[in-house]
Amino acid sequence: MNAPTPKPWIMAIAPYVPGRSKIDGVTVRAKLSSNENPLGCSPHADAAFRAANDTLARYPDAAAGDLRDAIAAVHDLDPARIIYGTGSDEVLHLVAGAYAGAGDEVVFVRYGFSVYEIAARRVGATPVIAPDRDYATDVDAILAAVTPRTRIVYVANPNNPTGTFTPRAEIARLHAALPADVMLVIDQAYAEYIDADEDDHALELARTQPNVIVTRTFSKIYGLAAERIGWGYGSADAVAAMHRIRAPFNITTAGQKAAIAALADQQFVADTRAHNAKWRAWLEDEVKALGNAGLRSVPSRANFLLVLFEGAVSAEAAYHALMARGYIVRWLPGQGLPHGLRITIGTEEETRGLAQALREIVGG
Ligand code: PLP
């Protein structure tokens, strides 16, 4: 008997592989595989989340009005132009759903966030991969990949899984050279880890340019990954288009309340940024000291390091040896990086322990 058949473009999707959180038979010392905040979240966000639990029988605010107002106040935006999603993942999908379909092309960099390809294929569009420049985003390569069929360009800044940052002038050059009918999505999941004076001005572009959408998340520096709250900023028309396909009650009450409280605690954000900068620099030095064993890290502006293994000990071997010692990191052979491990910056204890384990494994 014939069975129902999924669409071929859906079956062409390689399923997303999340970072692991358990190791069989081993006590986990540190989960450094999903770029979460090792300091947790603001205590105010935690309290707001718990207080929201007496409203379980009621649907959440479908318009997320208070959350949009709070985001708009922090970033000086028009609340009416904020779209929100079950994580910024959903917002990335909403852009594809609104702007791409069969016969269209969606461009992103070779070592880019894996959801871009899933979002493109989901709507039947063709993913087009632009080569990198030593793991960094290459604006010229992106522009060379654009054709009359291109509908969306996704750029993460900083990028995941490389951690590289594309400066303001390069982002401006990319936007200026793109055709006006191509939507430029600047995914700022890690933007809060950048110092204010180095901001890439993506939100400024989204304020003024109808073909720019910026996405942000509460999963990273705000430490609310479990609640799945992301948002985007674009033109009124773009936001109206995305609302048509958004699930009606896509973000939870507790999540909205926790996110509002998290936004009010910018000291927690600053503390996390400082912690991350300190321990990322420390870990970069540790990796540099293992250079004679063939290790090097890609310059990172995010809350993780991509460590390349170009010596006798392979990334795969190091991955298994780290796991055996209780350190969960991300090995990414499925993303063309069989020679790399992506390691989230943890607490001081976790980061020191990870570095010690790495030294033991590669014999540095
Ligand atoms: N964009 C980038 C570059 C990411 O690395 C991630 C998560 O790892 C996301 C978006 C999605 O995050 P969330 O859906 O939790 O907002």
Give the separation between CA 89 and CA 244, rounded to whole angstroms. Answer: 17
Indicate if ligand 1 lies below 6 Å from the C-beta of 156: yes
Biggest CA-to-CA distance, the chain = 63
- Give the per-residue pLDDT at 15: 83
Q: With a cut of 90, say whether residue 14 has pLDDT above it.
A: no
Q: With a cut of 80, say whether residue 20 has pLDDT above it.
A: no
Fold classification of 43-265 is Aspartate Aminotransferase; domain 2 (3.40.640)
Indicate if ligand 1 lies below 6 Å from the C-beta of 230: yes
Ligand 1 center to 93 CA (angstroms): 12
Q: Return the exposure string of 253-286: e unless at least 16 CB atoms fall within 10 Å of the residue's CB, then b.
A: bbbbbbbbbbbbbeebbeebbebbeebbeebbeb
Q: What is the mean pLDDT of residues 90-109?
A: 98
Structure tokens at 162: 């490389």
- Give the per-residue pLDDT at 248: 93
Percent of the chain with pLDDT over 70: 99
Q: With a cut of 70, say whether residue 358 has pLDDT above it.
A: yes
Ligand 1 center to 265 CA (angstroms): 21
Note whether 8-40+267-362 and 43-265 share their fold: no
Name the residue with higher pLDDT: 69 or 26: 69
Indicate if ligand 1 lies below 6 Å from the C-beta of 89: yes
* Ligand 1 atom with the shortest distance to the CA of 216: 16
Indicate if ligand 1 lies below 6 Å from the C-beta of 189: yes
- Give the per-residue pLDDT at 21: 79
Tens of pLDDT along 220-264? 999 999 999 999 999 999 999 999 999 999 999 999 999 999 999
Ligand 1 center to 115 CA (angstroms): 8
Ligand 1 center to 359 CA (angstroms): 30
- Give the per-residue pLDDT at 23: 83
Indicate if ligand 1 lies below 6 Å from the C-beta of 219: yes
Percent of the chain with pLDDT over 90: 94
Give me the CATH code for the 8-40+267-362 domain, please.
3.90.1150.10
Q: What is the mean pLDDT of residues 117-131?
A: 98
Domain chopping of the chain, boundaries: 8-40+267-362, 43-265
Q: What is the best residue among 35, 217, 231, 305 to mutate for testing ligand 1's pocket, by most ligand atoms within 8 Å of CB?
A: 217
Q: What is the mean pLDDT of residues 295-313?
A: 97
Tens of pLDDT along 43-95? 999 999 999 977 789 999 999 999 999 999 999 999 999 999 999 999 999 99
Bridge partners, 220 (sequence order): none
Ligand 1 center to 76 CA (angstroms): 23
Structure tokens at 363: 């014999």
* Position 364 confidence tier, pLDDT thresholds 50, 70, 90: low
- Give the per-residue pLDDT at 96: 98
- Give the per-residue pLDDT at 208: 98
* Ligand 1 atom with the shortest distance to the CA of 161: 5
| Atom 1 of ligand 1: nearest residue by CA position | 189
Model pTM score: 0.97
Residue with tokens 């970069």: 284
Q: Please say whether the beta carbons of 303 and 280 come within 8 A.
A: yes
Average pLDDT value over all residues in the chain: 96
| 347 backbone φψ class: left, alpha, beta (φ>0; ψ -120 to 50) | beta
- Give the per-residue pLDDT at 22: 80
| Atom 6 of ligand 1: nearest residue by CA position | 189
Indicate if ligand 1 lies below 6 Å from the C-beta of 213: no
* Position 114 confidence tier, pLDDT thresholds 50, 70, 90: very high
Q: With a cut of 80, say whether residue 309 has pLDDT above it.
A: yes
- Cβ atoms within 10 A of the Cβ of 50, count? 12
Ligand 1 center to 88 CA (angstroms): 6
Three-state DSSP class for residue 267: helix
Q: With a cut of 80, say whether residue 334 has pLDDT above it.
A: yes
Q: Is the dihedral of CA 217, 223, 224, 228 positive or negative?
A: positive
Indicate if ligand 1 lies below 6 Å from the C-beta of 35: yes
Who contacts 341 (Cβ-Cβ below 8 Å, separation ≥6)?
306, 307, 309, 315, 318, 319, 322, 329, 330, 331, 332
| Atom 7 of ligand 1: nearest residue by CA position | 189
Structure tokens at 216: 């942000």
